[in-house]
Amino acid sequence: MAKHIQTIVKANLSSTVKTGGCGKCQTSCQSACKTSCTVGNQVCVK
């Protein structure tokens, strides 16, 4: 077990460049002044 670093989330975002882009996600709003969410707050619907 690592002594100095504890990994909490292992993710592989870069790989979604190849697997993503289906466009089925709900609309997001960067200003978040509306009903839809900001991209960072979104979940993938795939």
Residues that bind another protein (CB under 8 A): 2-44, 46
Tell the smallest beta-carbon distance from residue 1 to another protein (Å): 10
Tell the smallest beta-carbon distance from residue 36 to another protein (Å): 7
Tell the smallest beta-carbon distance from residue 18 to another protein (Å): 8
Question: What whole-number distance in Å separates Cα of residue 5 and Cα of residue 18?
Answer: 30
Question: What whole-number distance in Å separates Cα of residue 17 and Cα of residue 28?
Answer: 19
- CB-CB contact of 26 with 36 (8 Å): yes
